[in-house]
């Protein structure tokens, strides 16, 4: 019988393999990006992660018990940075190191491309149409991928030629422990119905890998994005 630990290892290995060929995570290819392409990535990526607060609010509003709410609140507290700078402020400073002013992105979403907007909306749609155990499984998968994705993204921004102090946002996210907080509650769901956990993790893995690929295409081949932010 498959254990949760065994499933998670295979799922994570499959995800790592699926994203390993993405040029966005290839240091040699990223180092060849123009300054304009790097600035585009900074603006576009903001929207792939800048809507996370909506997911947290949605999950917290529907959480059936204090146990679940406490995990989500701990996540929100970490986003605000405690006595340190918030994650939002760290990203704003990262953007500024590449001469990107995020004010128009924050207010108007100038570079919120169609596929990124779809990515964020589809998260909420999937969560809305599934029961709480499925919601928590998908949320746990999203949290678990933070460490994998930000290891990749740290490699990406390492090719931008920035001082290490400008990369604090990515350093922080490589070390977050969000999944660990959610894992004990996930184990209970696995014991009730392992297929619910599998379904949530499969959705997030496929969904995330597709978004990274689209972001890579948009960054390396900007001519294929039309004026409405959709692939052409």
- Where in the chain are the domains? 4-221
Tokens representing residue 217 in the block: 């295409």
The pLDDT, as a whole number, for residue 84 is 87
50 secondary structure, DSSP code: T
Q: Which of 76, 202, 49 is nearest to 134 (CA)?
A: 202
Q: Which CATH superfamily is domain 4-221 in?
A: Heme oxygenase-like (1.20.910.10)
Stronger pLDDT, 62 or 82, i.e. the higher one? 62
Helix 194-220 / helix 4-19 crossing angle, nearest 10 deg: 10
Query: Collapsing DSSP states into helix, strand and coil, what is residue 165?
Result: helix
Cross-strand pairs, 225: 231
CA distance 178 to 13: 19
Question: Tokens 């990749």 label which residue?
Answer: 152
Whether the CA torsion 88, 89, 92, 98 is positive or negative: it is negative
Q: Give the model's confidence band at 229: pLDDT under 50 very low, under 70 low, under 90 confident, else very high.
A: low
Which range, 83-87, 111-115, 191-195, is most confident? 191-195
Cβ-proximal residues to 135 (8 Å cutoff; 6+ apart), any chain: 59, 62, 127, 200
Q: Quick one: what percent of the chain has pLDDT higher than 70?
A: 93
| 147-183 pLDDT, tens digit each | 899 999 999 999 999 988 899 999 888 877 666 777 8
């Amino acid at each position: 019988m498959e254990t949760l630990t065994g499933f998670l290892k295979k799922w994570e290995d499959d995800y790592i393999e699926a994203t390993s060929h993405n040029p966005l995570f290839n240091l040699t290819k990223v180092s060849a990006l123009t300054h304009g392409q790097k600035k585009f990535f900074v603006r576009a990526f903001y929207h792939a992660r800048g809507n996370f607060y909506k997911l947290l609010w949605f999950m917290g509003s529907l959480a059936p018990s204090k146990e679940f709410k406490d995990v989500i609140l701990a996540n929100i507290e970490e986003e605000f940075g405690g006595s340190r700078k918030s994650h939002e402020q760290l990203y704003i400073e990262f953007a500024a190191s590449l001469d990107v002013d995020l004010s128009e992105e924050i207010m108007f979403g100038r570079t919120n491309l169609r596929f990124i907007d779809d990515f964020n909306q589809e998260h909420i749609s999937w969560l809305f149409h599934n029961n709480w155990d499925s919601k928590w499984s998908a949320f746990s998968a999203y949290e678990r991928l933070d460490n994998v994705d930000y290891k990749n993204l740290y490699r990406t921004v390492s090719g931008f030629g920035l001082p290490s102090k400008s990369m604090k946002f990515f350093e922080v996210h490589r070390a977050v422990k969000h999944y660990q907080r959610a894992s004990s509650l996930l184990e209970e769901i696995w014991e009730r119905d392992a297929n619910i956990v599998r379904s949530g993790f499969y959705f997030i893995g496929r969904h995330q890998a597709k978004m990274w690929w689209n972001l890579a295409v948009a960054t390396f081949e900007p001519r294929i994005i039309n004026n409405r932010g959709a692939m052409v």
